[in-house]
C-alpha cells in the first residue's frame, strides 16, 4: 500500500514535466497572464529651467505587454506643483498610451527638484513609478 501511494505521488509530480503537454491557462507563468504596464523610460531630467518660465511638460509612453486590457486606476503625485493626465479608457494588449506630466516650477522653491508620480493599474506589477527632476533657477 505504501508503494502504491509513493508511485501515485511520483507520477502526479512528474506529470507536469513532460514536454509537449498542453498547458492550461492556470499553469501559464504569471507574467503572461493579465495586463502588464511597461514604461521603457521612467525618468526625465528637465535640466536648468527658469522658475518663472511657465509649465514644463513631458510625455511618458507606455505599452501594455500583457494579455488583457490595461486600466489605469489612479495616479498620485508628490506635490501640488506636479500634475498628470492619463488614458481613461482601457489600453488593449499590445497597445500604447501616454502619461503626460506637467511641472509648474513657479509653485515650488528655486533649486533642484525631484518629483515622483505613482501609477496604479490592473497591471500584474501593480504600481509603476515615474521620476522627474531638474534645477529651477530664479
Average pLDDT over residues 69-81: 92
> Does residue 3 belong to any structural domain of this protein?
no
> Does residue 17 belong to any structural domain of this protein?
no
The mean predicted confidence, pLDDT, of the chain is 82
Domain that residue 87 falls in: 32-137
What beta strand segments (E) does the chain contain? 37-38, 43-50, 56-64, 72-77, 82-85, 96-103, 111-121, 127-137
> Does residue 11 belong to any structural domain of this protein?
no
Which range (50-54, 77-81, 119-123, 132-136) has the least confidence?
50-54
Instruction: For residues 38 and 107, give the distance between their C-alpha atoms in angstroms, rounded to a whole number.
Output: 31
The pLDDT-based confidence of 105 (bands split at 50, 70, 90) is: confident
Q: What is the pLDDT of residues 53-74, one digit of tens each?
A: 888 999 999 999 999 999 999 9
Q: What is the CATH number of the domain that holds 114?
A: 2.60.40.10
Number of domains forming the structure of the chain: 1
Identify whether the C-beta of residue 128 lies closer than 8 Å to the C-beta of residue 41: no
Q: What values do phi and psi take at 9, rounded to 5?
A: -65, -40
Residue 84's contacts (CB-CB under 8 Å, 6 or more residues apart) are 75, 77, 99, 100, 101, 102, 117
> What per-residue confidence (pLDDT) applies to 2?
56
Helix and strand numbers (H, E) in the chain are 1, 8
> Does residue 110 belong to any structural domain of this protein?
yes
Q: What is the pLDDT of residues 6-32, one digit of tens each?
A: 444 444 444 444 444 444 444 445 445
Residue 76's contacts (CB-CB under 8 Å, 6 or more residues apart) are 117, 118, 120
Amino acid at each position: 500500500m505504501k508503494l502504491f501511494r509513493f508511485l501515485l505521488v511520483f507520477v502526479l509530480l512528474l506529470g507536469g514535466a513532460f514536454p509537449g503537454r498542453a498547458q492550461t491557462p492556470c499553469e501559464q507563468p504569471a507574467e503572461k497572464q493579465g495586463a502588464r504596464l511597461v514604461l521603457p523610460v521612467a525618468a526625465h531630467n528637465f535640466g536648468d529651467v527658469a522658475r518663472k518660465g511657465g509649465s514644463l511638460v513631458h510625455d511618458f509612453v507606455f505599452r501594455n505587454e500583457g494579455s488583457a486590457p490595461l486600466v489605469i486606476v489612479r495616479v498620485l503625485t508628490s506635490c501640488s506643483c506636479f500634475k498628470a493626465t492619463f488614458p481613461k479608457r482601457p489600453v488593449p494588449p499590445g497597445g500604447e498610451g501616454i502619461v503626460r506630466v506637467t511641472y509648474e516650477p513657479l509653485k515650488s522653491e528655486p533649486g533642484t527638484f525631484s518629483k515622483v508620480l505613482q501609477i496604479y493599474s490592473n497591471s500584474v506589477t501593480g504600481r509603476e513609478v515615474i521620476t522627474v527632476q531638474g534645477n529651477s533657477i530664479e
